Structure 1
Amino acid sequence: MTTETHDPITLEIIQNSLQATADEMFAATRKTAMSSIIYEVLDMGTGITDAKGQLASSGAGIPGFIGVLDKSVSFLLSKFKPEDIEPGDVFITNDPYYGGVTHLNDLVVCMPVFADGRVIAWTANIAHNSDVGGKSPGSLSADATEIFQEGLRLPAIKMISKGEPIPGIFDIITVNSRMPDFLEGDLWAAIAAVRIGARRLTELATKYGISTFEHAMANFMDHGEKIALAELAKLPHGTFELTEEQDDGRFFNVKVTISATEFVIDLRDNPVQDFGPSNAGYDDTLVSMQVIFKALTDSTSPANAGSFRPLKVLTTEGTTFHASEPAAVGFYYEIGIRGYDLVWRCLAPHMPDKLPAGHFSSIAGTFIGGIHPDTGRQYTIIEPQIGGWGASPGRDGNHAIFSAVHGETYNCPAEISEARNGLFVDRMELSTEPGGEGEFSGGHGIRLDYRIRRDNSFLTLGYTRSRILPWSLDGGNEGSANYILVMRTDGTSERYAFGSGIRVDADDVIRIITGAGGGIGDPKARDPAKVADDIKNGFITPERAAEVHGYKAA
């Protein structure tokens, strides 16, 4: 018989076991998924909640995805009666108006964990899937005006009952996809992950006792709150405000009020929801605010529900940060990162030790597809892009890494793209477009060329920071833009930041350009030795160095 104990060593072992379980779930998904967006890019997340749907571990994967999972479980708990949740059940949602939080491509799979006849926790998985139907291949449509055009909606339903698939559910899901075998394979990878997680947690609770298991989760949430409050005490207190123009001409507003006990982000004064797909649901806005809040309140400690107790996010329903059904939400991720960056820019002048100048600040979602010239099957590339980060006091920005909110992902290797998809990767290198110069300069983005192999292929993209550039600090130069050039075989080219279903044909080149981060300080104060190195490395031309840095070669 297990002896219940609440000693701190046992509680710490349980907490670390929760993290290990989330990591094992992540590995199970990565090793069994069919789509490169999951097994190579790792565009996914896994996590664990307590029985009430509160985040119990830091999870594994994209921070912005892990923050989705507790909200999905909470919705399921509000929809289903306790007696309708049984051992072996698996639930699914993808609809932001029904606990899905993000957009329809992101399938959230959740499983209750039982011990001694009752639910003691939940395991959950989220991943971006290649195609869930809708009016455009890849299910992203820049011209969508309502969510019905964006794909199959799964409004928090049970898909497996007592361990057995419910007849018809998988058929409904796969028949709505242009890539049904990939979707089904990725879905079973997610199911495998939550099942192995549930098994591990039941073993853990059995070993240490259910009371000890539940106390460990609650205790660590209280610890997360204590860390957050201790860090809040170190931040500058007061109210800070910012208004910023966006690429589409709208103005976004934020007011941040920081005290010893609360961190309040007020986004109520913002434009009404977009007629197109540039909207986010409240829960996704909350996730983005949780990520920036955690970055400011000890980013090195584990995150759980307690970590976010001092955070309050205020929105107005029917606005772009709190869209109402049936608004389209396909490009939700650019609204989430715009909100994140708004808070960052608002607070950066007051927290130079924590926040650098602006980065390329776009998920830069890129979707390329068509019929594979060798196999005759539909393919779709789904890629976030890497870009330049802003300079910090005393240090240049990083080159070519993923944007905030979307960390913990990887660019897909060229060999995988060429083998799995119907195109060639002609080049990938750092972009040397002017921008981001300062005493300390922003990091560089990339230039990536995809060459199409078959006529009647397509490009869909949604980039921000294409017109309104990454912001600088203390007299540095703004960064450079995010955009795509479609370079036609007749020598013409077209520039895009948003678009869907753009036709590309054999030997057309899709050139992806991501921005440099903003600089810090007067560019003419830059160390001449660093300028000489920049010239040597090809980051800046001698003419540009003379213009912005006042550099004269020895």
Structure 2
Amino acid sequence: MSRTDIFTLEIIQNSLQAIADEMFAAMRKTAMSPIIYEVLDMGTGITDAQGQMASSGSGIPAFVGVLDKAVRCVLAQHSQPGDIEPGDIFITNDPHNGGVTHLNDVVLTMPVFAGDRLVAWTANIAHWNDVGGMVPGSLSTDATDIFQEGLRLTGVKLISGGKPVRPVMQILRANTRMPDFMEGDLWAGIAAVRGGAGRIVELTRKYGVDAFVAAIGDFMDHGERVSHHALADAPRGRFTMEELQDDGQTFRVTVELTGKEMIVDLCDNPAQASGPTNLSRDGTIVAAQMAFKAVTAPQAATNGGTFRPLKVLTKPGTLFDARMPAAEGFYFENLIRVYDLILRCLAAHMPERLPAGNFASVCATIIGGVHPDTGRVFTLVEPEIGGWGGEAGRDGNSAMYSGLHGETYNCPAEICEARYGLYVDGMALNDEPGGHGQYRGGRGIRIDYRVRADDTFLTCGYTRSQVPPWGLAGGRDGTPNYIEVLRKDGRSERHAMVSGLMLQQGDVIRVRTGAGGGYGDPASRSPEAVRDDVRNGYLSAAQAREIYGVTV
């Protein structure tokens, strides 16, 4: 096939996207855990033979960014002849060895052969409810090394020549408190990578292997051209930002835009933590890739070529390039901190592309115990939705997931009440005032979970609990993220990072997520917009007079 045959190239490229989406649908429809089939805490993708991202399905952007790195790790660990054969499937979850995130996020990847030639990999990632470790749910704020966080899988062969490797399956089952959920989610992932591999083989037969490989290469070159075009229109210079964090540490970033590349320097940051908030270098690269995409061509397709103009600098042994045996259970909060820090660094220089700060936390809420109706162990794993920042010309969105989570959903109240030992007493927009501006920040939410059984536990990981989302161009800061525990005896507690907090029947877990920052001077907001805010419950009549000078 001639490389000038753009029609065939386009057909193959779009077919790869359809295959990745089909893998996503297959996994969603067959998984056992609501965190996968309802929340969509998962991602699917296809790489070329060398592990460069060729196409991705829907799901979490930060998860999709993991898959190519996991495949390259498998390739490095299985480099001898016969190590990788048709029908094989590999499993990995270790952030220190290609898993990138934390041990709960499990990657399955399958080599795709056309005859004897390796032409691609299919891959997926999903959050598993429990992979062992010191606490149910495997996430503990008290963990000091990764060995306390659960079972580590470093590119292990799970399926060999189409047949399960029985000892590996036995190890997986023996190292989870929820083996039935583990097996259901595992086989959903296996079905997805196998289905995708079969579709790719059909594609190579229809158009030929050379055409297939050429199409992937052409698509990646196109991704690079799109990024270069966007960088050419971006402001040029060297920009620096430092930001105080909830725990009193200061994070720093320098971003250099040259017109041809974007260099993100995160070397000058604190040493890796003794606790579980560390981030692997690959995780930091994922955060930088998300920020790069946001400031270049967010609507365009993403592949390995997209990020060729991005360079990320880190220092080994720091919080954003942690070394073994660093714990990484709550990695996601610092991944989103890196992402948000880069955007804040650039926002003042690119106001037409970037909004004010959003609630910028996964707000991971984990509630577990024994279901009072069925007697089965349950673990609710719920990332929460919050407010996005205002931007030039429009208010911020309310009740949206963070940039890390992308195309995911909150778990319906009906599912929570049926599958977990909880009642959902209420869900509404958070009424705490904040995020005022010419264009206001979107609102966060308030959810009340009422505990139905004694000895239920709560684990949570929230940041921006002390330092709220930042305003832009004179806009006011937003509001913080936190949890209130309302004890049935009338006591109240506030938490942001806690694990294994014991709860009893009748206690209420009240989640509050933040409003995004405002954009522009509040005095410039139109009186009619202020009156609409009062009618919609975003602020009171007294606040309208005090902040905006508008009488309602």
TM-score (norm 1): 0.98
Q: Secondary structure of 2:488's partner?
A: coil
1:277–1:329 Cα contact (<8 Å) kept? yes
Q: Which residue of 2 aligns with 1:509?
A: 508
Post-superposition CA distance 1:125-168 (Å, at most 9, x none): 00001011111111100111000111111111001100001121
Q: Following the alignment from structure 1 to structure 2, what is the Cα–Cα distance between the partners of residues 521 and 161?
A: 59
Q: Which residue of 2 aligns with 1:64?
A: 62
Structure 1 position 410 matched with structure 2 position 409: yes
Q: Following the alignment from structure 1 to structure 2, what is the Cα–Cα distance between the partners of residues 26 and 392?
A: 32
Q: Check 1:167–1:481 CA distance in 2 against 1; reply closer, same or farther (3 A cut).
A: same
Q: Following the alignment from structure 2 to structure 1, what is the Cα–Cα distance between the partners of residues 115 and 212?
A: 13
Q: Following the alignment from structure 2 to structure 1, what is the Cα–Cα distance between the partners of residues 4 and 29?
A: 36
1:133–1:178 Cα contact (<8 Å) kept? yes
Q: Secondary structure of 1:108's partner?
A: strand
Q: Which residue of 2 aligns with 1:77?
A: 75
Q: Check 1:6–1:190 CA distance in 2 against 1; reply closer, same or farther (3 A cut).
A: farther
The aligned amino acid for 2:352 is D
1:23 is aligned, of 21, 24, 29, to 21
Q: Which residue of 2 aligns with 1:462?
A: 461
Post-superposition CA distance 1:376-419 (Å, at most 9, x none): 11100001110000000121111100001211100011001101
What are structure 2's unaligned runs of at least 5 residues?
Answer: none
Deviation at 1:170, TM superposition (A): 1.1
Q: Following the alignment from structure 1 to structure 2, what is the Cα–Cα distance between the partners of residues 189 and 476?
A: 46
1:225-304 alignment runs, 5 A limit: 225-304=224-303
Q: Following the alignment from structure 1 to structure 2, what is the Cα–Cα distance between the partners of residues 543 and 437?
A: 14
Q: Following the alignment from structure 1 to structure 2, what is the Cα–Cα distance between the partners of residues 4 and 380?
A: 54
The aligned amino acid for 1:130 is N
Q: Which residue of 2 aligns with 1:34?
A: 32
Structure 1 position 207 matched with structure 2 position 188: no
Q: Which residue of 2 aligns with 1:132?
A: 131
Deviation at 1:5, TM superposition (A): 6.8
Q: Following the alignment from structure 1 to structure 2, what is the Cα–Cα distance between the partners of residues 480 and 453?
A: 30
2:481–2:513 Cα contact (<8 Å) kept? yes
Q: Which residue of 1 aligns with 2:121?
A: 122
Deviation at 1:424, TM superposition (A): 0.3
1:68-217 alignment runs, 5 A limit: 68-81=66-79, 82-217=81-216
1:325-474 alignment runs, 5 A limit: 325-474=324-473
2:98–2:154 Cα contact (<8 Å) kept? yes
Q: Following the alignment from structure 1 to structure 2, what is the Cα–Cα distance between the partners of residues 535 and 300?
A: 34
The aligned amino acid for 2:256 is T
The RMSD of aligned alpha carbons is 1.0
Q: Which contiguous aligned blocks of 4+ residues in structure 1 show a shift greater than 6 angstroms?
A: none
Q: Secondary structure of 1:138's partner?
A: coil
1:278–1:328 Cα contact (<8 Å) kept? yes
The aligned amino acid for 1:476 is G
1:6–1:215 Cα contact (<8 Å) kept? no
2:92–2:153 Cα contact (<8 Å) kept? yes
Post-superposition CA distance 1:222-249 (Å, at most 9, x none): 1111111111000001100001010011
Q: Following the alignment from structure 2 to structure 1, what is the Cα–Cα distance between the partners of residues 472 and 64?
A: 31
Q: Following the alignment from structure 1 to structure 2, what is the Cα–Cα distance between the partners of residues 61 and 137?
A: 25
The aligned amino acid for 1:57 is S
The aligned amino acid for 2:40 is L
Q: Secondary structure of 2:45's partner?
A: strand
Q: Following the alignment from structure 1 to structure 2, what is the Cα–Cα distance between the partners of residues 450 and 259?
A: 49
Deviation at 1:551, TM superposition (A): 2.0
1:95–1:155 Cα contact (<8 Å) kept? yes
Post-superposition CA distance 1:305-350 (Å, at most 9, x none): 1000000000001111111010000011101100000001000000
1:397–1:517 Cα contact (<8 Å) kept? yes
The aligned amino acid for 1:329 is E
Deviation at 1:474, TM superposition (A): 2.0
Q: Following the alignment from structure 1 to structure 2, what is the Cα–Cα distance between the partners of residues 64 and 419?
A: 29
Q: Following the alignment from structure 1 to structure 2, what is the Cα–Cα distance between the partners of residues 88 and 417?
A: 37
Q: Following the alignment from structure 2 to structure 1, what is the Cα–Cα distance between the partners of residues 300 and 2?
A: 27
Q: Which residue of 2 aligns with 1:319?
A: 318
Q: Following the alignment from structure 1 to structure 2, what is the Cα–Cα distance between the partners of residues 525 and 467?
A: 28
Post-superposition CA distance 1:87-118 (Å, at most 9, x none): 10000000011110100000000000011212
The aligned amino acid for 1:277 is P
Q: Secondary structure of 2:27's partner?
A: helix
Q: Following the alignment from structure 1 to structure 2, what is the Cα–Cα distance between the partners of residues 78 and 398?
A: 43
1:4–1:211 Cα contact (<8 Å) kept? no
Q: Which residue of 2 aligns with 1:9?
A: 7
Q: Following the alignment from structure 2 to structure 1, what is the Cα–Cα distance between the partners of residues 72 and 139?
A: 27
1:438–1:524 Cα contact (<8 Å) kept? yes
Post-superposition CA distance 1:200-227 (Å, at most 9, x none): 0011011100010001001111111111
The aligned amino acid for 1:271 is P
Q: Which residue of 2 aligns with 1:49?
A: 47
Q: Following the alignment from structure 1 to structure 2, what is the Cα–Cα distance between the partners of residues 546 and 503?
A: 44
1:6–1:212 Cα contact (<8 Å) kept? no
Deviation at 1:481, TM superposition (A): 0.5
Post-superposition CA distance 1:448-483 (Å, at most 9, x none): 000000000000000000101100012221000100
**Identity score, percent:** 60
Q: Following the alignment from structure 1 to structure 2, what is the Cα–Cα distance between the partners of residues 323 and 241?
A: 23
Deviation at 1:4, TM superposition (A): 7.5
The aligned amino acid for 2:390 is A
The aligned amino acid for 1:363 is V
